[in-house]
Amino acid sequence: MKILESGEDYLERILFLQEKNGNVRSIDIATDMNFSKPSVSVAMKKLKENGYILIDDNGYITLTPKGDEIAKRISERHIVLTEVLKSMGVDEEIAKKDACKIEHDLSDETFEAIKKYINRK
């Protein structure tokens, strides 16, 4: 099953919050992303059903290996694309927003080419 862009964003945010805070709950995600708690709860249910996350009895969320792989891939894309755009003179906040839009649709081949190109400089 192909994961949707919104699912990738949630997984990336879970990874970010885990690295920042250690433990993650739905309320942390809702607060950080400025989304409603019910919206996040529905999304977490879908991610759990599809094997991307685990939720323990206390409501703590962890990434499964499958979810972790996607989260790290999207996070790497976000970081690299943000830096590329900033190096081109784009304002940092705009670069972050644009990188978020680009990271989901960019082919693996093109992303690898971008990484090779920036590493040659």
Residue 45, C-beta contacts closer than 8 angstroms, at least 6 positions apart:
none
Amino acid at 96: K
Full-model pTM: 0.86
Domains parsed from the chain with CATH numbers: 5-69 (1.10.10.10), 74-120 (1.10.60)
53-55 and 61-63 strand pairing: antiparallel
How far is Cα 41 from Cα 90, in angstroms, rounded to an integer?
35
- 62-82 tens-digit pLDDT: 999 999 999 999 999 999 999
Strand partners, 112: none
Report CA 72 to chain centroid distance, whole Å. 7
> What mean pLDDT do residues 27-37 have?
94
Using pLDDT thresholds of 50, 70 and 90, give the confidence band for residue 2: low
Q: What is the model's pLDDT at position 69? A: 95
Q: Tell whether the model's pLDDT for residue 28 goes beyond 70.
A: yes
